[in-house]
Structure 1
C-alpha cells in the first residue's frame, strides 16, 4: 500500500482538503476493499476474502480495532498475529 503524506498541511488550500475529505473511504470500506472486494476482483471470492469454512486462512490480528481507532493511529497499530494459508508467519511475543 502506498501512503501519500502532505508534509505542510497548512499550505494546502481548504478547497483541496474538502475535496480529499469527500473522496475518503470509511474504515469499513477500506477493510472491505482489501478483503472481500479484492477477492471478488481477483475471481477468488470462493477461496479468499473472508474468514469462512473452505476459505484460505489468511488473516492479520491487530492490537486494536481498525474500525474504531482514529485514522491517524492505524499505521501504528501493532500486528499481533499473521496467518498465511493456515500457517502462523508472525506471532507477537506477548501471545
Structure 2
C-alpha cells in the first residue's frame, strides 16, 4: 500500500437468498443491462415490460443491499439478493 494511504474494512452480517431457473438463460451482452428500467431481454419467449428487475434492484439498494445475476445461455440463471442484517439480527444469526 502506498505511503500516506490506509484502508479499513468492516464485516457486516448479511442475509443472502438465491433464486435459480433452469430456463433459456440470458445472453452475456445483455446481463449488464438487466436492471435498467424498460430493458427487456431478447432471449425469452415471454414478453416483459422491463420494470420488474429495475424495481427489485431499487428496493434492495434502498435497504443497503445488492442484487447479482449469473447466467449462461441454455443453462439458466441465478439471481442472488444480499441484504445487511440489523445489529440485533446479526447477533442472533451468526
- The structure in which a higher percent of residues are helix is 1
Highest RCO, 1 vs 2 (Cα 8 Å, sep ≥ 6): 2
Q: Same fold (TM over 0.5)?
A: no
Q: For this structure pair, what is the TM-score category when the shorter chain's length is used for normalisation?
A: under 0.3
Question: With structure 1 as the length reference, what TM-score do the two structures score?
Answer: 0.26
TM-score normalised over the length of structure 2: 0.27
